[in-house]
Structure 1
Amino acid sequence: MKALVYEGPRTVAVRDVPRPKTKGVRLRLHYCGVCGTDIGIYAGSHPRAQAPLILGHEFIGEVIEDHAGFTKGQRVTAFPLISCGACHPCRTGSPHVCANLRLLGIDCDGGMAEEITVAPELLVPVPDDVPDELAALIEPVAVCLRVADRAAVTMGDTCVVTGAGPIGLITALMLRHAGGGRILISDIAPGRLRLAEELGFEPVNARAETLAAAVAAATDGDGADVLVECSGAAPAALEMTRLVRTGGTICLASLFKAPTPVALLDMSFKELRLVGSRVYTREEFRRATALVAQLETPLAKLITRIVPLSDAGDVFELATDPEAGMVKVLVDCRG
């Protein structure tokens, strides 16, 4: 079968590989999304991913043959988290932050291939009213649903999202779905800012104006109720405490891989609430699966390119090319 194989830093290729022989439910894959984590693996910066590896954990496929309660032709996605079951988080009801957490497409082969075999306990049926392309967004929607839950947004809150990539834009959709009022979203990419405006958010071009001024104007100088950091940029981390009101909430959706300056005096003087967010619970993944159909129109706008698997050798260069203006890129595993 064909698969997109990570072979080392900045090296991927479409290869003929043996069909998976592991036990589980065999799937014929339809689409797989390109995630920021996949881009990090491609860049050689992921600490666990080892070549050769079939990438991808945001996928939709169909069951090839009846097995373990799943029927031939049934469309499914996968809850890609593999927890150890023995560590303290697992023992105390938080297996999604397992101390030994593993993921499909990172610690074992993933979904950028014609087929995959997945343990039945990880499979989640896809509702009939969810198109294939949108089903590939269930996993990132679950990520952002978790963010909105952790941020504890309430009706009418003024929210700020720093970074208008896929996670930033989907997070903004989740904040609005949770009741958020005005939502400002900052970035430096004109195409992403145009899309943010098209989706009904207030874009802030960080190259043309300061986010602090935009937030002050939107809140009469009080500051935002909720800020979600999705850029992963050190300047955004340093500025974020200035942008929220006294008693406000900051949620970290991005992953800072190195120690990063934060204005901790603001945390104390303004009594701010700072929370982290990592992946999602099984319940949030289930909610995301149902929610995708409700948000079909805005989510469909995020899919900016679909690349056939046979031509996917350059998909990471495409996804990271600032001139290409990509938001969400999918690999068509049937092509």
Structure 2
Amino acid sequence: MKSIIYEGPNLISIQEKDIPEVKEGWVLIKTSHVGICGTDLNIYAGAHPRAKAPLIMGHEFSGTIVKGHPTFSEGTPVTVNPLLTCGKCKPCLTGQSHVCETLHLVGIDCNGGMAEYVIAPIERIAPLPADTSLKLGALMEPVAVAVHAARQGEYIPGDHVVVYGAGTIGLCVAMTLKSYGATNIMVVEPNELRLKKAKELGFHCINPMIQDVHETVREMTNGTGSDFVFDCAGHPSVIQQATKVVKVRGRVVVLAAYKKPAEVNLLEGMFKELSMSFTRVYTNRDFEIAGELLNSAPEFERLITHVLPVEEAQKGFDLLTTPTDAIKVMYKF
């Protein structure tokens, strides 16, 4: 099977590999679409602590059942919840398996979807709604991240929202909140090409390189500040700014994975009685809701800016590691 292989820092190749054997409890899937995630970019850069070369990356993918599933017939369109949990630690035993103490993922800790065929555990197979395309189905995982953040952050319809970052996750969060009734969503992003996409999607855009974010947010909220701030950027300047732009007794929700410890103004947090929460991946219910959301809001497909053939594997990573208008880049097998 044709596969995209991570061979080492900043090095990928296209190789022919054997179709994986279907072990007990796992299902063989013929891949259709697979997206490049921020985690894949970390792997590509050689910065991921667990991913080891050679590796077939990809944990955002869709495809069709080939064999191994007890109830879904061959050809059933599916996506995969890529979380691999131990089932034995305290979080797993108390219904919080998404924060399993030894959480692993398909495409990071074992081969993933950047190949013509991939295997995944039976219990992680999610059938696509009848009206959802395989292309859109490959977006379900990042939408589940956004759904989890909105639910975990306890967003209330009608509240003002600031979203830092107009990449896939930031725009998925903004669109998810919009579907939940948010009417005043401000997206902060220094990349003008990404801001253009955010504006096309109907969001108020702020470029921190040329605008004062704090003052702009105050103007947009009648001087009170934003009810919520969602950090989807992971830049040290963001978490410092977040405590300023959020209102008194507001909430900061951190989705981004910070590579190094960041400075937070704790005194400002105390004076304003702020709440700060952190989210990681998603629960099974979040994943289900993401499927329902994609089925009812097909405009999420507008986040998919590039669909490339496997032969252009390198181009996909180049698009996301240089200043371009790329948001979600996918490969089609």
**Same-fold status (TM-score > 0.5):** yes
1:106-140 C-alpha deviation (Å, 9 max, x unpaired) = 00000010001222111010111001111110000
Q: Distance in 1 between matches of 2:268 and 2:306?
A: 41
Structure 2 counterpart of 1:16, one-letter code = E
Q: Normalised by the size of structure 2, how large is the TM-score?
A: 0.97
Determine which of 166, 169, 191 is the counterpart of 2:168. Answer: 166
Q: Distance in 1 between matches of 2:69 and 2:178?
A: 39
Q: Distance in 2 between matches of 1:19 and 1:131?
A: 25
Determine which of 90, 105, 126 is the counterpart of 2:128. Answer: 126
Q: Distance in 2 between matches of 1:22 and 1:78?
A: 16
Correspondence for 2:52:
50
Report how far residue 66 of structure 1 moved.
6.2
- Computed over aligned residues only, the root mean square deviation of the Cα atoms, in angstroms, reads 1.1
Secondary structure class of the residue paired with 2:287:
helix
Correspondence for 2:137:
135
Q: Distance in 2 between matches of 1:67 and 1:49?
A: 27
Structure 2 counterpart of 1:248, one-letter code = G
Q: Distance in 1 between matches of 2:96 and 2:69?
A: 29
Choose 313-322 or 76-85, whichever is displaced more: 313-322
Q: Distance in 2 between matches of 1:190 and 1:314?
A: 21
Alpha carbons of structure 1 residues 256 and 131: separation in structure 2 relative to 1, 3 Å: same
1:109 aligns with 2:107: no
Structure 1's unaligned 5+ residue stretches are: none
Correspondence for 1:307:
308
Describe how 1:62-81 pairs up with structure 2 within 5 A: 62-65=64-67, 67-81=69-83
Instruction: Give structure 1 regions of 4+ aligned residues with deviation exceeding 6 angstroms.
Output: none
Q: Is the 8 A contact 2:28 2:68 kept in 1?
A: no
Q: Is the 8 A contact 2:22 2:68 kept in 1?
A: no
Q: Distance in 1 between matches of 2:123 and 2:67?
A: 16
1:201-252 C-alpha deviation (Å, 9 max, x unpaired) = 1000111101111101011221100000111100111111001111101000
1:141-190 C-alpha deviation (Å, 9 max, x unpaired) = 00000011122111210000011111101100111122222000011111
Q: Distance in 2 between matches of 1:97 and 1:66?
A: 28
Q: Distance in 1 between matches of 2:182 and 2:69?
A: 43
Structure 2 counterpart of 1:95, one-letter code = S
Percent identity over paired residues: 40
Q: Distance in 1 between matches of 2:150 and 2:263?
A: 24
Q: Distance in 2 between matches of 1:99 and 1:238?
A: 29
Q: Distance in 2 between matches of 1:301 and 1:192?
A: 12
Q: Is the 8 A contact 1:4 1:313 kept in 2?
A: no
Q: Is the 8 A contact 2:243 2:265 kept in 1?
A: yes
Q: Distance in 2 between matches of 1:151 and 1:210?
A: 26
Structure 2 counterpart of 1:231, one-letter code = A
**Number of paired residues?**
331
Alpha carbons of structure 1 residues 84 and 66: separation in structure 2 relative to 1, 3 Å: closer
Q: Distance in 2 between matches of 1:97 and 1:36?
A: 19
Q: Distance in 2 between matches of 1:115 and 1:79?
A: 16
Determine which of 146, 149, 159 is the counterpart of 1:147. Answer: 149
Correspondence for 2:287:
285
Correspondence for 2:6:
6
1:255-287 C-alpha deviation (Å, 9 max, x unpaired) = 112111000011111111100010000011011
Q: Distance in 2 between matches of 1:164 and 1:54?
A: 27
Q: Distance in 2 between matches of 1:274 and 1:8?
A: 36
Correspondence for 2:326:
326
Secondary structure class of the residue paired with 1:6:
strand
Correspondence for 2:252:
250
